[in-house]
Amino acid sequence: MKVICDREKLYEGLAAASHVIPTKSAKPILENVYFVANDDGLELAGTDLEVSLRYKIQGVEVIDAGVAVVPARVAADFVRDLNGEKVTLETKDGNCIIESGKSRCELVTVDPEEFPVISRFTDEKTYTLRAGVFTKLVSQTGFAAAREPGRYAMHGVLTEIEDGVLKLVATDGRRLAMSTIPIETDEGAKSTAIVPTKGLQHFCRVISDELDPIQLHFGETQLGMKTREAEIFVRLIDGEFPRYAAVIPTTTKHYLEASADDLAKNLRLVANVTGDEARAVKFRMGPKKLELFGQSAGRGEATSQVDVEFKGEETEIAFNPDYVLDGLKKCEGQLVKLEFDERTSPGKFTLGENYMYIVMPITVDA
């Protein structure tokens, strides 16, 4: 193999692969990146067996076709620190030589036969949408997925397509985020999968232009996602996602509308006095006002008021301020709406036209 390529483009591909390729693995072969040069150009591939990546390097001159499997981190770090604009990759005597100007690195290669087989994207039964739309949905939901050990299905994002709508839902059992967007599909098209959050985030990282179209392919065991330069395949979570519709309020007695920025600012202010043992802020509400109240035994107490529009009887409800703030960071507009039934009922935050965030209340002493 011998190719000449643009240093910056090569590093972009290696950096994308580095997000997927493990630094240390029980299977050392997975710590490597797979290069293949042919008439179509230069492609690199990497995997941790949960998420796999194929990346097409742009602006490549292929002198000799061939393959090379080399340590991914070393290759990425060396290419990153090169000064030249062009880089030559060449295999010789069982090694891969990376050279630019007066700088040269010779890496030991690994038998390509040992490298896992990585899928190739198929155009059959795919859905196309704008890259920026998809990254927005992932950003609005992925943060709410579970991280601690527990129900495995909650460690992913439910990704559904039905009736011309793409829906993403994530929950950790204490809060739930759901965002939807209309997309073009064939009549009756329906797909569903629980996708590991990590895989969706890796895919968003390789998107270079949010105006570009991307494609999704739902397979039996993996979700394929394709951009102009990259293909990513994510192994699906095999499990039953919680019946999230049961926690979404259908009727509410109390309705509040406030400036998202004002609510976030004052909520952070009051949350400063709450401790880890009692991470809760009370929302005391009545006509035209919302009072936020927080306290802890070792720090004291704090209050702050926010001007709001409120409908319902005077009442209060308590939330973990961190959960509410996580949602407010993703609010699409200037206003946020909060609806709930009783002080022990879930709070429904509307953060955009098609964006809903549910937070379970906390019971605190008076």
Assigned domain for 258 exists: yes
- Is residue 296 a part of any domain in this protein? yes
Give the residue-averaged pLDDT of 160-166.
95
**Final residue belonging to a domain, choices 244, 276, 303:** 244
pLDDT of residue 215: 96
**Residue 169 falls inside a structural domain:** yes
Least confident of 105-109, 124-128, 156-160, 225-229: 124-128
- 55, part of any domain: yes
Residues 341 and 255 in one domain: yes
What average pLDDT score do residues 102-118 get? Answer: 95
Region 219-240: mean pLDDT is 95
Judgement on whether residues 256 and 231 belong to the same structural domain of the protein: no
The residue segments making up the domain with residue 215 are 126-244
Q: Are residues 302 and 226 in the same domain?
A: no
Tell me the pLDDT of the chain averaged across its residues. Answer: 94
- Phi, psi for 347 (deg, rounded to 5): -95, 130
Q: How many CA atoms are closer than 13 Å to the CA of 141, on its beta-carbon side?
A: 32
Q: Is residue 119 part of a domain?
A: no
Q: Which of 244, 251, 257 is nearest to 176 (CA)?
A: 244
Assess whether 252 and 235 both reside in one domain.
Answer: no
The crossing angle, in degrees rounded to 10, of helices 7-20 and 72-81 is 150
- Tell me: do 236 and 166 sit in the same domain: yes
Look at residue 347 and tell me whether its pLDDT is greater than 90.
yes
Residue 224 has pLDDT above 90, yes or no: yes
Report the CATH number at residue 326. Answer: 3.10.150.10
Question: For position 366, what pLDDT does the model report?
Answer: 56
Considering the domain boundaries, does residue 366 fall inside one?
no
Do 262 and 303 fall within a single domain? yes
Is the pLDDT at 125 greater than 90? The verdict is no
Question: Are residues 304 and 291 in contact, defined by beta-carbon separation less than 8 angstroms?
Answer: yes
120 assigned to some structural domain:
no
Q: Where among 195, 213, 244 does a domain terminate?
A: 244
- Same-domain pairing of 94 and 179: no
The answer for residues whose C-beta is within 8 angstroms of residue 243's C-beta and 6 or more apart is none
103 vs 81, 96, 97, CA distance in Å?
A: 10, 14, 10
Q: How many domains does the chain have?
A: 3
Dmax (CA) for the chain in angstroms is: 81
Name the domain boundary from 55, 86, 114: 114
Residue 30 within a domain: yes
* Torsion, Cα of 25, 27, 31, 34 (10° steps): -160
pLDDT at 196 over 90: yes
Rounded to an integer, what distance in angstroms lies between the CA atom of residue 50 and that of residue 199? 8
User: For the residues 259-276, what does the mean pLDDT come to?
Assistant: 94
Dist. CA 283–CA 267, nearest whole Å: 10
Verify that 350 and 258 share a domain, yes or no. yes
What's the token pair of residue 174? 């204490």
Does 217 lie in the same domain as 265?
A: no
236 lies in the same domain as 149:
yes
Which 3 state secondary structure label does DSSP give 322?
helix
Identify whether residues 141 and 179 lie together within a single domain: yes
User: Can you give 247-283 as a three-state secondary structure string?
Assistant: HCCCCCCEEEEEEHHHHHHHHHHHHCCCCHHHCCEEE
Cα gap 352→293, rounded to integer Å: 26
Residue holding tokens 């109390």?
254
